[in-house]
Amino acid sequence: MSTATYTVTGMTCGHCVSSVKEEVGQIAGVTGVDVDLETGRVTVTSDAPIDEAAVKDAVEEAGYELKP
């Protein structure tokens, strides 16, 4: 199992959290996505390490930005 943590900017409410969870959760191999709205911390759990580019794409697809 692999866990990675990212910081996402632009989320303002529970709907934003849901959007990020949904998009990131669709990445192949992802088994769990935990989002803390206040800090923007997104924890991604997966069977094997996930390419950060895939996470970035998913976050942007949801309408937010991955903090470099």
| Binding residues vs its own copies (CB under 8 A) | 12-16, 18-19, 63
As measured in angstroms, the least distance from the Cβ of 21 to its own copies is 13
- Determine what percent of the chain falls in helix, strand and coil, rounding each to the nearest 5: 35, 35, 30
Q: Nearer Cβ to its own copies, position 18 or 39?
A: 18
As measured in angstroms, the least distance from the Cβ of 56 to its own copies is 20
As measured in angstroms, the least distance from the Cβ of 18 to its own copies is 8
C-alpha 24/C-alpha 4 separation (Å) is 12
C-alpha 10/C-alpha 22 separation (Å) is 16
